[in-house]
Amino acid sequence: MSGVYVTVSGFRFGEMKSQVYYSDNYGFSWSDIGQDLPDIPVNDIQLDFQNPEYIYLATDAGVFVSNDHGQDWRILGNGTEALTVLDLDYHINGTLEAATYGKGLMTYNLGASTSLSKTEVHTKISCYPNPTQNLSYLSEQGDWDYRLYDLTGKSYTVNWMGKALDLSALSTGLYYLDLTSKSDRSHLKTLKFVKI
C-alpha cells in the first residue's frame, strides 16, 4: 500500500475516536483504520515492506499487528507483554525491535508471530449491549480465556457464564476484554465496552 499514516499519542477522555489514520491521496481525506484497537495512545507505526498489508503499532499496551491493512488488530506475541512501547524498527531479516519504557528492547521474530490462525482470521466477536449495566453478551461462544482490564491496566475477575459476563461488581467506566484461544494461546480479539 502506498500512502501516508498518522497515529495519535495521548489520551482523549470520553472520546471513542481512532488513534490511527491512513490517506491514499496525499492527506486530502483520511480513513480510520484503528477502530478495532483499544482507546490507548499509539506512539509509532511501522510497515512491513515485504508484506504490505501488515502494519505494526507501538502502543501504551504493547505492540499490535494487522495483516489486513488495519481492518482487524491483535496484540503481537503471547498477549502478556502489556508494556508501553515507544518506538519500532523493522529489519529486513524478519525481526521487529520494540523500544519499551522500563523493560529495554524487545525483539519479535515476525516469521512465526505474525501468521494468523483460522480462528483469528474469522473472528468478528462483539459484545452487546454496549454501554451495559450488569450483563454483557458475546456474539459468539468459544473455548477461550479472557483478561478484563481498565484504562490503567488493572485486571478484574468477573463471573463468566458462557456467552455472558456478569459485570455488576465493576465500577462505572471504560473496560477492555482480551480473548485468547485455549487451544493454541493465540490472541483472538480485544473488545472495548462501557459499564454504566
* pLDDT tens-digit series, residues 112-146: 444 444 344 335 677 888 888 988 888 877 777 78
* Judgement on whether residues 111 and 129 belong to the same structural domain of the protein: no
* Judgement on whether residues 58 and 132 belong to the same structural domain of the protein: no
The yes-or-no verdict on residue 43 having pLDDT over 80 is yes
* Among candidate residues 116, 150, 175, the one where a domain is terminated: 116
Q: Is the model more confident about 123 or about 147? A: 147
* Judgement on whether residues 31 and 101 belong to the same structural domain of the protein: yes
The DSSP-derived string for the chain is --SEEEE--S--TT----SEEEESSTTSS-EE--TTS-SS-EEEEEE-TTSTT-EEEEETTEEEEESSTTSS-EESSSS-----EEEEEEETTTEEEEEESSS-EEEEEHHHHTPPPHHHHH----EESSSBSSEEEESS--SEEEEEEETT--EE--EEETTEEE-TTSPSEEEEEEEEETTT--EEEEEEEEE-
* Judgement on whether residues 17 and 103 belong to the same structural domain of the protein: yes
* Judgement on whether residues 28 and 107 belong to the same structural domain of the protein: yes
Q: What gap in Å lies between CA 19 and CA 179, rounded to an integer? A: 21
Q: Is the pTM of this model over 0.85?
A: no
Domain extent for 11 = 4-116
* Among candidate residues 116, 137, 157, the one where a domain is terminated: 116
* Judgement on whether residues 18 and 54 belong to the same structural domain of the protein: yes
* Judgement on whether residues 11 and 69 belong to the same structural domain of the protein: yes
Averaged over 50-66, what is the pLDDT? 88
pLDDT at 28: 92
* Judgement on whether residues 15 and 98 belong to the same structural domain of the protein: yes
The yes-or-no verdict on residue 44 having pLDDT over 90 is yes
* Judgement on whether residues 42 and 89 belong to the same structural domain of the protein: yes
* Judgement on whether residues 78 and 153 belong to the same structural domain of the protein: no
Best CA proximity match to 76, nearest among 40, 115, 50, 49: 115
* Judgement on whether residues 100 and 133 belong to the same structural domain of the protein: no
Q: Tens of pLDDT along 101-113?
A: 888 888 888 764 4
- Count up the domains in the chain and report the number: 2
2 band by pLDDT with thresholds 50, 70 and 90 = low
- Which range has highest mean pLDDT (37-51, 107-121, 177-191)? 37-51
